[in-house]
């Protein structure tokens, strides 16, 4: 499903104009991005948790050449699905 399809589906479900739903969705996404980027987590009960995690530097192998290469440490975005989402995905 694309963002536009999500907006149209949500708009129909709550009887709000698509432009208003898109504005609210954009505000929510911007808030999540800013919070995770600053190291603050976002918890949406039943849906999941967005957070920022540290990934240590490591040495790995280039699969094409077999050559060792160093991968620097970095921060990564993480999402852990909530119980309701996990159950829906698993058919429960």
> What CATH number is associated with residue 47?
4.10.520.10
Q: Are residues 33 and 65 in the same domain?
A: no
Burial 15-33 (b: 16+ CB within 10 A, else e): eeeeeebbeeeeeeeeebe
- Indicate if 27 and 62 belong to the same structural domain: no
pLDDT of 30 above 70: yes
pLDDT band of 50, cuts 50, 70, 90: very high
C-alpha 53/C-alpha 3 separation (Å) is: 26
pLDDT of residue 91: 86
Phi-psi region of 39 (alpha: psi -120 to 50; beta: other; left: phi over 0): left
Q: What is the pTM for the complete model shown?
A: 0.81
Q: Which domain holds residue 4?
A: 1-38
Mention every residue, 6+ apart, whose C-beta is less than 8 A from residue 50. Answer: 32, 35, 36, 41, 42, 44, 77, 78, 79
Report whether pLDDT(5) > 70: yes
Q: Quick one: 45 and 10 in the same domain? A: no
**73-84: pLDDT as tens digits:** 999 999 999 999
Q: What percent of the chain has pLDDT over 70?
A: 99
């Amino acid at each position: 499903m694309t963002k536009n399809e999500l907006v149209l589906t949500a708009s129909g479900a709550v009887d709000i104009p698509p432009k208003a739903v898109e504005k609210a969705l954009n505000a929510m996404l911007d808030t999540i991005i800013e919070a995770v980027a600053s190291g603050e987590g976002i918890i949406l009960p039943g849906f999941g948790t967005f957070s920022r995690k540290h990934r240590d530097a490591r040495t790995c192998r280039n699969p094409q050449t077999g050559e060792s290469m160093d991968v620097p440490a970095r921060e990564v975005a993480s999402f852990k699905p909530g119980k309701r989402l996990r159950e829906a995905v698993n058919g429960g």
